[in-house]
């Protein structure tokens, strides 16, 4: 009777090992599916932010900013991330949402009217137009896209304790994949 229990244990261990391999492959695929796009998004946004100085050219003409006020609600809210593109100032039209600098602050508001000397702007949530006209020398770009709440994620990642933890987790993930693929190669090599 002892040989029966040994026999079944070997069969069971083989099935458990195969299940464990399948689970590990599933976890690896899931993490790759989720983490790779996330990592690429953060690299892209990091590059976009690096080139987003108002007087700079941006990344292929695009710049990204975190919304800090509610002056454009409901179009976008504080904590959202907006992407703007530099365009020719003369091509702007009424109702375009544009980004410009005002006394060293980056502002994004909607064009109400265009006059010969510039564009009159107003935040969607504001009751009055902005005091100064927007001219070509303070114009930064025109709104191209909004990523809701992504600015909050960026701000959270800039906290001193968060970034090192994320770097550690990404490094651990890379090491996990590297060693796991080495184990798989050894298993394939030993079975031949």
pLDDT tens digits, one per residue of 22-65? 777 777 777 777 777 777 877 888 888 888 888 888 899 999 99
pTM of the model: 0.70
Beta bridge partners of 182: none
- The string of pLDDT tens digits covering residues 96-146 is 999 999 998 999 999 999 999 999 999 999 999 999 999 999 999 999 999
- The string of pLDDT tens digits covering residues 147-187 is 999 899 888 877 888 878 878 877 887 787 766 655 555 55
Q: For residues 109 and 20, which has the higher predicted lDDT (pLDDT)?
A: 109
Tokens of 110: 């909607």
CB 131 within 8 A of CB 147: no
Protein fold of 51-151:
Umud Fragment, subunit A (2.10.109)
**pLDDT of amino acid 8:** 46
Instruction: Find the helix packing angle between 162-191 and 2-50, rounded to 10°.
Output: 140
Q: Measured between alpha carbons, how far is 22 from 31 in angstroms, rounded to an integer?
A: 14
176-184 CB contacts, 8 Å cutoff, 24+ apart: 176/28, 177/28, 177/32, 180/24, 180/28
Single out the residue of 88, 147, 92, 137 nearest to residue 114, CA to CA.
Answer: 92
DSSP class of 127? S
Tokens of 120: 């009159």
Give the lowest-confidence range in 9-18, 72-81, 123-132, 164-173. Answer: 9-18
């Amino acid at each position: 009777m002892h040989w029966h229990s040994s026999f079944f244990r070997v069969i069971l261990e083989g099935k458990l090992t195969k299940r464990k391999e399948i689970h590990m492959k599933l976890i690896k695929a899931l993490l790759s599916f989720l983490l790779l796009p996330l990592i690429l998004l953060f690299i892209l946004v990091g590059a976009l932010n690096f080139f987003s100085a108002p007087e700079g050219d941006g990344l292929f003409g695009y710049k990204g900013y975190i919304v800090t006020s509610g002056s454009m609600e409901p179009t976008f809210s504080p904590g959202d991330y907006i992407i703007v593109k530099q365009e020719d100032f003369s091509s702007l039209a009424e109702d375009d949402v544009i980004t410009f600098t005002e006394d060293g602050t980056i502002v994004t508001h909607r064009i109400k009217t265009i006059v010969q000397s510039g564009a009159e702007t107003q935040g969607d949530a504001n009751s009055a137009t902005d005091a100064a006209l927007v001219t070509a020398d303070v114009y930064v770009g025109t709104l191209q896209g909004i990523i809701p709440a992504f600015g909050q994620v960026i701000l959270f990642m800039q906290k001193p304790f968060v970034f090192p933890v994320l770097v550690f987790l990404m490094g651990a993930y890379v090491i996990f994949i590297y060693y796991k693929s080495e184990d798989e190669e050894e298993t394939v090599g030993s079975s031949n």
